[in-house]
């Protein structure tokens, strides 16, 4: 018969591994805290009754003990005793129940209450004495066994990868073919109705908005809102419990693993958007939930000369101090856990520049990069950086080291400028269309170092990008001050929704223009969930706190032609290696072709672009010729790869333009494959055209297959 929690013996246990680990007959608990005077392990019954056990052992700053009889499903937390001196960076307060940073499952949520805060929120000196336990989440002891049954990562090569950025809840909350009990959950994301949608598009990887356990900021709770996106992490090992349909006493771990296994079986990789740059505890006015109370100065970057305040490179109140070995170990332990135990296939690092700061500058050779590079597990998965933060010198697109790919913000800005009618010429566009060699070639990286995107979770949806010039974020409760104001966009002449058929048609074509540019570019394309469906957020370009119909995918209002357009382009991309180059173009002549080049650029008059054209900011028309006989990579058996040749004709001007399609040796004729003037991209019938003059409609992308005589 199980003992009462008050009667559990606390054996010495082991200092490693950190966290709570069940061995079949008991659980070992280990918590790092360099400055603590004492640590209490707190166990909770189902009804919330607390039982405290003092951990007597301290080895290398790790407090540890083993409790026989404690097993999976046990809720727990810590109370850490030590000095209270914020002016010296110390914020120990045993009145606050603290979540184990290594907890593998979390039960319960944060409830807004003054007891959340380590200091006296109403004023006064000293630590706040109120017990926070009723208002904060707790760790759960889990059993990690799962029947993976030979599960293997699809291990899709970077050059074949198509990323779909998606929110676990928002993906299926309104999906009519997903059972109501599964909507908005890990199981919902793995339901055939959603998986088949991904497969029909040609998606090879889902990039999940944060699924590490997170809580909402107090300022949102005070306004009756919540953090929807999840960039407010509290637990780096625990899948977010609210996305579980099966329970929160460890079942969320099993459900997450089952989701990964299902997606792998469908040929789809799972990439996690991870937030290792800051935590949910905010600045000096924020709550004490875990790290602050365990070892404030050990986990966070404190201001030099003012350790009662936090160095904030993230805009979220604090910055984790990755320079410290214990923090670096936490990050690496977390990454390895998600790969080895949860079978994920990669990570997208939010505000990655913050992780690279040694002192003040972003350091490409920081300890974080060094450790990742040599790690035998983490170095083998997909690594994507959001290459900026909010600190000085934080915009680092193109400056991350090999192994890393990057969200290419330059790509987004250039493509938006071109289609919004900005007079920016075609020089920068040519770089973006061909893998951004100006950013990634110098250090030996390949075109797939560039993750190309036009929209992301942060900003307008693609439909809104061509419908609104001004953000409408009033629902966020910040008087429309939040969100980006300079969006490089155009509303097609009317602000907001309209019944004007011509404006609606133009908006539809502009959406297709953005998507065609993205999916015909060399590099790794990233689609934002719902852009292929025509999703709108009603002009809100910062919907981080909108856990409602503003953010959720609306499966009752789907643009089927647009979905077919995206699927058509992705099938073409998958079948055409010339559109998925693994090496940068050289512009060299291709042998035995009569003078064609692997890459050539044509002006409207039919001549190849000259220096004057490249620096003509008024030029809005360009032809990109890709010769499928000049592909430089080989297949797995070392054989040359050959493909059809294509001419991409891009015209961003407001009026039609006559262009000269080049003749021999470039082509003997052309066949229309895709045009954005058609709602699905498909021509009404197979259409062949001869070299020579042809009128291109305003604001249009053509993809023409080169025809050659036998």
By CB atoms closer than 10 A (0-12, 13-18, 19+), residue 47 is exposed
| Catalytic residue positions, numbered | 350, 386
Residue 638 — very low, low, confident or very high, per pLDDT cuts 50/70/90? confident
In angstroms, the CA 110 to CA 123 distance is 22
Are the CB atoms for 522 and 430 separated by under 8 Å?
A: no
pLDDT in tens, 157-197: 999 999 999 999 999 999 999 999 999 999 999 999 999 99
Every domain of the chain with CATH number 2.60.40.10 lies at 5-141
**Whole-number pLDDT of residue 395:** 85
pTM comes to 0.97
Q: Are 483 and 458 in contact (CB under 8 A)?
A: no
Q: Is residue 389 a contact partner of residue 354, using CB atoms and an 8 Å limit?
A: yes
Is residue 1 pLDDT above 50, yes or no?
A: no
Cβ–Cβ < 8 Å for 348, 406? no
Residue 229 corresponds to which tokens in the numbers above? 């996106």
What pLDDT score was predicted for residue 390? 79
| Rounded percentage of the chain residues whose pLDDT exceeds 70 | 98
Three-state DSSP class for residue 58: strand
> Who contacts 591 (Cβ-Cβ below 8 Å, separation ≥6)?
none
For residues 348-368, b (16+ Cβ closer than 10 Å) or e, as one string?
A: bbbbbbbbbbeeeebeeebbb
Residue 651's alpha-carbon distances to 284, 466, 599, 617, in angstroms, are: 52, 17, 18, 14
The pLDDT score that the predictor gives to residue 419 is 98
pLDDT digits (tens, 9 = 90+) for 448-475: 999 999 999 999 999 999 999 999 999 9
The DSSP string of 624-687 is EEE-TT----B-TTSPBP----EEEEEE--SS-EEEEE--TTT-SEEEEEEETTSTTS--SS--
Q: Is 391 within 8 Å of 579 (Cβ atoms)?
A: no
Q: Say yes or no to pLDDT of 285 above 80.
A: yes
CA angle (171, 173, 176) in 5-degree steps: 100
Contact 55, 112 (CB under 8 A): no
Q: Which two tokens stand for residue 68?
A: 């026989």
Please name the residue that has the structure tokens 């926070």: 132
Q: Rounded to 10 degrees, what is the CA torsion of 443, 449, 454, 458?
A: -90
Give 390-414 as a DSSP string.
Answer: SSTT---TT-SPTT-EEE-HHHHHH
pLDDT tens digits for 199-224?
A: 999 999 999 999 999 999 999 999 99
> 12-61, pLDDT tens digit by residue?
999 999 999 999 999 999 999 999 999 999 999 999 999 999 999 999 99
Secondary structure class of 22 (helix, strand, coil): strand
Q: Give the CA angle between residues 112, 117, 123 to the nearest 5°.
A: 110
Residue identified by tokens 């052992």 is 57
Q: Say if residue 710's pLDDT is above 90.
A: no
CATH 2.60.40.1180 placement within the chain? 578-707
CB 524 within 8 A of CB 453: no
How many other CB atoms are there within 10 angstroms of residue 553's CB atom?
22
Let me know the angle formed at the C-alpha of 41 by 38 and 42, rounded to the nearest 5 degrees.
130
At residue 2, the pLDDT reads 45
pLDDT category of residue 124 using cuts at 50, 70 and 90: low
Q: Which of 85-94, 317-326, 333-342, 386-395 has the lowest mean pLDDT?
A: 386-395
Would you state the structure tokens that stand for residue 643, as one six-digit string?
Answer: 């493909």
* The listed CATH number (1.20.140.10, 3.40.50.410, 2.60.40.1180, 2.60.40.10) that belongs to domain 578-707: 2.60.40.1180
Structure tokens at 641: 């790869």
Count CA atoms within 13 Å of residue 543 on its CB side.
Answer: 23
Does the CA dihedral 449-454-459-463 come out positive or negative? negative
Least confident window among 6-10, 12-16, 152-156, 428-432: 6-10
Structural contact between residues 239 and 341, judged by C-beta atoms closer than 8 angstroms: no
Is there a cis peptide before residue 64, judged by omega within 30 degrees of 0? no
Judged on CB neighbours under 10 Å (0-12, 13-18, 19+), 488 is: middle
- What are the CA-CA distances from residue 138 to residues 16, 338, 419 (Å)? 21, 20, 49
Cα gap 190→627, rounded to integer Å: 40
Mean pLDDT score of the chain, rounded to an integer? Answer: 95
Question: pLDDT for 668-700, tens place per residue?
Answer: 999 999 999 999 999 887 789 999 999 999 999
Burial readout 128-163 (b: 16 or more C-beta within 10 A, e: otherwise): bebebbebbbbbbbbeeebeeeeeebbebebbbbbb
pLDDT for 515-567, tens place per residue? 999 999 999 999 999 999 999 999 999 999 999 999 999 999 999 999 999 99
Question: 3-state SS of 198-237?
Answer: HHHHCCCEEEECCCEEECCCHHHHHCCCCCCCCCCEEEEE
In which band, very low, low, confident or very high, does the pLDDT at 423 lie, cut at 50, 70 and 90? very high
Taking the C-alpha atoms of residue 74 and residue 76, their distance in angstroms, rounded to an integer, is 6
CB 5 within 8 A of CB 45: yes
CATH superfamily of 5-141: Immunoglobulins (2.60.40.10)
| Residue among 10, 16, 21 nearest 32 (CA) | 16
């Amino acid at each position: 018969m199980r003992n009462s929690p008050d009667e559990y013996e606390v054996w010495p246990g082991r200092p490693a591994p950190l966290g709570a680990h069940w061995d079949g007959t008991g659980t070992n608990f280990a918590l790092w805290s360099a400055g603590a005077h004492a640590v209490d392990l707190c166990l909770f019954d189902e009804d919330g009754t607390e039982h405290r056990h003092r951990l007597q052992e301290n080895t290398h700053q790790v407090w540890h003990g083993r409790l026989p009889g404690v097993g999976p499903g046990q809720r727990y937390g810590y109370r850490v005793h030590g000095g209270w001196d914020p002016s010296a960076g110390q914020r120990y307060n045993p009145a606050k129940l603290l979540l184990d940073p290594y907890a593998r499952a979390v039960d319960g949520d944060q409830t807004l209450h003054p007891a959340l805060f380590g200091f006296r929120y109403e004023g006064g000196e000293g630590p706040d004495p109120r017990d926070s336990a009723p208002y904060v989440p707790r760790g759960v002891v889990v059993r990690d066994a799962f029947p993976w049954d030979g599960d293997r990562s699809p291990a899709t090569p970077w050059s074949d990868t198509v990323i779909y950025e998606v929110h676990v809840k928002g993906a299926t909350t309104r999906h009519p073919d997903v059972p109501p009990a599964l909507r908005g959950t890990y199981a919902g994301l793995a339901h055939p109705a959603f998986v088949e949608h991904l497969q029909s598009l040609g998606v090879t990887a889902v990039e999940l908005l944060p699924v590490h356990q997170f809580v909402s900021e107090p300022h949102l709770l005070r306004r009756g809102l919540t953090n929807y996106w999840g960039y407010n992490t509290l637990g780096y090992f625990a899948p977010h419990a609210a996305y579980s349909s099966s329970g929160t006493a460890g079942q969320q771990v099993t459900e997450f693993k089952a989701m990964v296994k299902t997606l792998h079986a469908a040929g789809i990789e799972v990439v996690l958007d991870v937030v290792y740059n800051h935590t949910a505890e905010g600045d000096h006015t924020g709550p004490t939930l875990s790290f602050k109370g365990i070892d404030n100065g050990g986990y966070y970057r404190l201001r030099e000369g003012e350790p009662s305040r936090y160095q904030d490179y993230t805009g979220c109140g604090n910055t984790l101090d990755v320079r410290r070995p214990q923090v670096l170990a936490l990050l690496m332990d977390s990454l390895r856990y998600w790969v080895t135990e949860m079978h994920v296939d990669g990570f997208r690092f939010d505000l990655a520049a913050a992780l690279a700061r040694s002192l003040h500058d972003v350091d490409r050779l920081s300890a974080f990069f060094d450790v990742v590079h040599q790690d035998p597990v983490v170095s083998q998965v997909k690594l994507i950086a959001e290459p900026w933060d909010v600190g000085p010198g934080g915009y680092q697109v193109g400056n991350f080291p090999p192994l890393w790919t990057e969200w290419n913000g330059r790509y987004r800005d250039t493509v938006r400028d071109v289609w919004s009618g900005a007079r920016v010429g075609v020089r920068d566009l040519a770089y973006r269309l061909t893998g951004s060699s100006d950013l990634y070639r110098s250090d030996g990286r390949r075109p797939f170092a560039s993750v190309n995107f036009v929209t992301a979770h942060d900003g307008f949806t693609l439909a809104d990008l061509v419908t609104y010039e001004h953000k409408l974020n009033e629902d966020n409760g910040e008087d429309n001050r939040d969100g980006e104001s300079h969006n490089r966009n155009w509303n097609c002449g009317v602000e907001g929704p309209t019944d004007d058929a011509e404006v609606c048609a133009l908006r539809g074509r502009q959406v297709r223009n953005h998507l065609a540019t993205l999916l015909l570019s060399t590099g790794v394309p990233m689609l934002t969930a719902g852009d292929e469906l025509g999703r709108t957020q009603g002009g809100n370009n910062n919907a981080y706190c909108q856990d409602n119909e503003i953010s959720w995918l609306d499966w009752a209002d789907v643009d089927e032609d647009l979905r077919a357009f995206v699927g058509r382009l992705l099938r073409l991309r998958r079948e055409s290696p010339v559109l998925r180059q693994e090496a940068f173009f050289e512009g060299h002549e291709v042998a035995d072709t009569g003078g064609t080049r692997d890459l050539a650029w044509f002006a409207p008059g039919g001549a190849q672009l000259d220096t004057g054209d490249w620096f003509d900011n008024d030029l809005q028309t360009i032809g990109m010729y890709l010769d499928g006989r000049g592909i430089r990579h080989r297949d797995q058996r070392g054989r040359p790869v050959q493909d059809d040749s294509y001419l991409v004709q891009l015209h961003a001007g407001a009026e039609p333009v006559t262009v000269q399609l080049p003749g021999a040796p470039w082509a003997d004729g052309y066949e229309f494959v895709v045009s954005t003037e058609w709602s699905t991209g498909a021509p009404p019938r197979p259409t062949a055209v001869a070299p020579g003059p042809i009128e291109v409609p305003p604001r249009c992308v053509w993809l023409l297959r080169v025809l050659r005589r036998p």
